Chains A and B, each alone.
Chain A
Amino acid sequence: AQSVTQLDSQVPVFEEAPVELRCNYSSSVSVYLFWYVQYPNQGLQLLLKYLSGSTLVKGINGFEAEFNKSQTSFHLRKPSVHISDTAEYFCAVSGWDSNYQLIWGAGTKLIIKP
């Protein structure tokens, strides 16, 4: 069975500083990997996804993530955060053994300090 672990429940960072949100997954099969963002009182918006090919994936709002198969990780990064990035970020995985349903991590709250 697949599972996702987001290692930090909250990440405080100063505005304009870089940030990394960590995500590890477990799966015995090939997977698709996703990062979604949820702004307060809103639904989920896709930031980026990894399906195959290049391990560095670029997404919206200046975010990128790197797929590392040997470490089963898919960490999300941004070189310089803005106050508008304050939100909760969810990592998710899907594959044929979950019938391509999204299996989610518990989320990481990104807190931007002015």
Chain B
Amino acid sequence: DAGVTQSPTHLIKTRGQHVTLRCSPISGHKSVSWYQQVLGQGPQFIFQYYEKEERGRGNFPDRFSARQFPNYSSELNVNALLLGDSALYLCASSLDGGAGGNTIYFGEGSWLTVV
């Protein structure tokens, strides 16, 4: 079975531009979460979606938005990019978002560089 897939794997954007990152969860998983990992730090929670509804939001500005589609795939959008948005963006997939202790699986991530 395919794991969590993310696209694109690498991208370079200019300050002020917009970016869309995509994630396909493991088949059967209904929850997708997004994390930002800045070089040298642990991941920071951005959003969680479960059954197409937002279940949680981390401490990120409104420039960050996300959605989950009927097939449970997800997009993370970031507007008005800043240099500080340069990071690895990780998508995580789970059956129930972690409440039952089910394993949360991560994709390989999308490396975003803002210049």
The finding on whether chains A and B are genuine partners in a shared complex, rather than unrelated, reads yes
> In the docked arrangement, what's the CA distance between A90 and B106, Å?
13
- One of B11-19, B40-48, B61-69, B71-79 at the interface: B40-48
- Chain B's interface size range is 20 to 34
B8: Cβ under 8 A from any A Cβ: no
> Contact between A45 and B106 (Cβ–Cβ < 8 Å)?
yes
Proximity bits, A80-114, B CB within 8 Å = 1, else 0: 00000000001010101001111111110000000
Q: Interface SS of chain B: helix, strand, loop or mixed?
A: loop
- Chain A's interface size range is 20 to 34
Proximity bits, A22-52, B CB within 8 Å = 1, else 0: 0000000000100010000011111001010
Contacts of B35 in A (CB 8 A): 102
Shortest CB-to-CB span from A101 to chain B, Å, is 5
Contacts of B101 in A (CB 8 A): 32, 49, 51
> Contact between B106 and A43 (Cβ–Cβ < 8 Å)?
yes
> Contact between A107 and B106 (Cβ–Cβ < 8 Å)?
no
Q: Which residues of B contact A (CB under 8 A)?
A: 4, 33, 35, 40-45, 48, 55-56, 58, 90, 92, 97-99, 101, 103-109
CB-based closest 3 A-B pairs:
A104-B42, A100-B98, A51-B101
Q: Which residues of A contact B (CB under 8 A)?
A: 4, 32, 36, 42-46, 49, 51, 90, 92, 94, 96, 99-107
